[in-house]
């Protein structure tokens, strides 16, 4: 991908967070899902770390190496003509410098944005607020050096893995969000936040656009838009939604040696090839 084209995608992705409508980002887990989302008309695509890891035979949670993650994420970015923002978990490094270099590799792979989380996994303390702020600054500096206006989505894991009562967690999350914005984040992602009123308070308390994950227990996308949420993602939810189909197909073939699913012709061999022949 030409650097000029990549810069254009990054600019377009940033602008989508400030448009008239909420940005709905489907999370792709491979090139086929990415192309289907592009064909469906989405103006940008996110990846799912859990989905990409599963495709390559790993559990979610940074069990995959940075090299393997970036190999597939980069392939996705080169397969579609819309901006791709990559979920790169906690950055696959132990220092701001190491993480920033991974993000440089992500930029070289062709992404227009990245998702970086301050969580270190269930049962483990979150990254320190100063530590994570320095990481975001380092990523912003690396992006500036490459000339790509990378869109940084800073994930705040307080509602998922933090401690304290609900009000204390809210205050911690807002403090982290504000600090990350000052450090150079473009978007704040308070994962695990699903309560209608708390989302409304959070959006009003943070200057950056807010990303909420849609799904069970969360307000509907139209409701989130009314609350001022600017971006919606789905994590690995869309990948997991396809698994019952594959599971049913497997059970049908195993128990009955046939399945009506095989008779579906919407995606013929030629139609699948057509997703990629135009590239």
- As a whole number of angstroms, the distance between CA 159 and CA 198 comes to 11
Mean pLDDT of the chain: 96
Name the 3-class secondary structure at 265: coil
Domain assignment present for residue 69? The answer is yes
Q: Cα 209–210–216 angle (5° rounding)?
A: 155
pLDDT above 80 (res 134): yes
Domain assignment present for residue 110? The answer is yes
Kindly report each contact of residues 124-130 with a partner whose C-beta sits within 8 Å and lies 24 or more positions away, as own/partner. Answer: 124/161, 126/157, 126/158, 126/161, 126/162, 127/90, 129/175, 129/176, 129/179
Q: What is the mean pLDDT of residues 233-261?
A: 96
Q: Please check whether residue 229 is in contact with residue 210, taking contact to mean a CB–CB distance below 8 angstroms.
A: yes
- pLDDT tens per residue, range 88-106: 999 999 999 999 999 999 9
Q: What is the mean pLDDT of residues 109-130?
A: 93
Domain assignment present for residue 201? The answer is yes
Domain assignment present for residue 260? The answer is no
- pLDDT tens per residue, range 146-205: 999 999 999 999 999 888 899 999 999 999 999 999 999 999 999 999 999 999 999 999
Range of the domain at 86: 3-249
Domain assignment present for residue 257? The answer is no
- As a whole number of angstroms, the distance between CA 223 and CA 253 comes to 41
pLDDT above 60 (res 22): yes
Q: What is the number of domains present in the chain?
A: 1
- As a whole number of angstroms, the distance between CA 255 and CA 38 comes to 36
Domain assignment present for residue 239? The answer is yes
- pLDDT tens per residue, range 23-40: 999 999 999 999 999 999
Predicted structure pTM score? 0.95
The CATH number for 51's domain is 3.20.20.60
Domain assignment present for residue 78? The answer is yes
């Amino acid at each position: 991908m030409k650097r000029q084209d990549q810069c254009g995608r990054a600019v377009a992705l940033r602008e989508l967070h400030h448009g008239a409508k909420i940005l709905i980002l489907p999370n792709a887990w491979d090139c086929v899902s990415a192309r289907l989302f592009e064909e469906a008309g989405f103006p940008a695509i996110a990846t799912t770390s859990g989905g990409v890891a599963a495709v390559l035979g790993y559990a979610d949670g940074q069990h995959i190496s940075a090299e393997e993650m970036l190999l597939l994420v980069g392939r996705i970015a080169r397969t579609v003509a819309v901006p791709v923002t990559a979920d790169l978990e906690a950055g696959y490094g132990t220092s701001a410098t190491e993480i920033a270099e991974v993000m440089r590799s992500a930029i070289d792979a062709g992404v227009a944005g990245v998702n970086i989380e301050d969580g270190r996994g269930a049962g483990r303390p979150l990254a320190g607020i100063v530590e994570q702020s320095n990481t975001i600054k380092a990523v912003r500096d690396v992006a500036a050096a490459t000339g790509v206006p990378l869109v940084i989505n800073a994930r705040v894991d307080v509602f998922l893995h933090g401690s304290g009562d609900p009000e204390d967690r809210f205050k911690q999350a807002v403090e982290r969000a504000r600090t990350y914005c000052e450090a150079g984040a473009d978007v704040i992602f308070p994962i695990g936040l699903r309560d209608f009123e708390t989302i409304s308070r959070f959006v009003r308390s943070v200057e950056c656009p807010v990303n909420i994950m849609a799904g069970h227990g969360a307000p509907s996308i139209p409701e989130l838009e009314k609350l001022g949420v600017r971006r919606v993602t789905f994590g690995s939810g869309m990948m997991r939604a396809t698994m019952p189909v594959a599971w049913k197909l497997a059970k049908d073939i195993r128990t009955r040696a046939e399945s009506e699913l095989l008779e579906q012709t919407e995606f013929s061999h030629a139609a699948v090839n057509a997703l990629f022949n135009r590239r």
